[in-house]
Amino acid sequence: MKAYALLGGPTNLWPADIQARFRKAQKNGDLIVGVDRGSLFLEEMRIIPDLALGDFDSLHSNDLARIEKNVKDIRYSNPVKDWTDSELMLRTVFKDYGVSEVYIFGATGGRIDHFLVNLLMILNPAVREFANKICIIDQQNMLRFYNPGKYLIPREDYSYVSFAALTAIKNFNILGARYELKNYSGDYPRVFSSNEFLPGKNNCEISFEKGIVAAIYAKDVDRFHNLA
C-alpha cells in the first residue's frame, strides 16, 4: 500500500491532474491522507481521506465537523509541539500504516516557512530511514530524497534534475550527467542546480558517504501560466 497525502499549500501549484491521481489511488486501495487544510481540500473534491492529521485551527467549525463525521482516523496535533504536522504525517503513515511510499502534494509555495518545514522534515532523525520512500510533487517539480549510498537516478518526465545537499555532506559524486561532480565534501547545504541527463541515457548516478541529498526534478512553465 502506498500513501497519497494532501497538505494545505496553495492549490494553484497542484499538478493539473491531482483529482485523477487521488481517485485512482483510492480505487487501488492506497491510503488517502489529508493534513490540516488539505483534509478540507480533499473533501471539496469529494474524496474522503482515510486519515486526517493536524491542529485544524485554521478551519471553520462546520468544516471541521464535516471532516470529523466522515474521516475514520483523525489525529489531532498540538499547536505547541515538537513535531510538525507533516512530520507527524510521515511517522503515522510509515510506522502505523506501514506504507511502502508516500506521495505528497500541496507541500510547496505560499509561506516559505511552511515550505521549508515540508522540505526539511526529511532531516528529522526519526523519519530519515524513510527518506527514499518520500516524494513531493507540484505543478513543475518533483523531489526525491536519499540517505548515504550509491543510486541510479532514473530519467523522468522533466527537463532538469538538480541535486541538493540538505546537510553537511561527504564525498558526493554525480556521474553520467551533463555536469559531473567528483568527491565534493562540504559542511553546509548546497544546491548543484540545472543539471541534465545525457542524450540517450535513461539515468545518472549519485553517491555519497554522509548527509542527505534531494533530487529536484523540474520543468519550466510558460511565464504567464499562473497569470492566466
Binding site for a copy of itself (CB under 8 A): 10-12, 37, 79-80, 84, 108-114, 116-117, 120, 123, 140-141, 143, 160, 162, 164, 166-168, 179, 187-191, 193-194, 212, 216, 218, 220-221, 223-224, 226-227
Q: How far is the CB of 66 from a copy of itself (least distance, A)?
A: 17
Please tell me the distance from the alpha carbon of residue 51 to that of residue 72, in angstroms, as a whole number. Answer: 7
H and E: helices and strands count for the chain: 5, 14
Closest listed residue to residue 174, CA positions, set 199, 200, 194, 157? 194
* C-beta closer to a copy of itself: residue 99 or 177: 177
Closest listed residue to residue 172, CA positions, set 161, 187, 156, 160? 187
Q: Which amino acid is at 74?
A: I
Q: How far is the CB of 62 from a copy of itself (least distance, A)?
A: 17
* C-beta closer to a copy of itself: residue 25 or 197: 197
Q: How far is the CB of 157 from a copy of itself (least distance, A)?
A: 15
Q: How far is the CB of 77 from a copy of itself (least distance, A)?
A: 12
> Hey, is 23 helix, strand or coil?
helix
* C-beta closer to a copy of itself: residue 76 or 179: 179
Q: How far is the CB of 27 from a copy of itself (least distance, A)?
A: 28
* C-beta closer to a copy of itself: residue 25 or 56: 56
Please tell me the distance from the alpha carbon of residue 8 to that of residue 172, in angstroms, as a whole number. Answer: 34
Query: C-alpha 209: how far from its chain's center?
Result: 23
* C-beta closer to a copy of itself: residue 113 or 157: 113
Place of cell 491510503: 31
Residue 150, beta-bridge partner list? 207
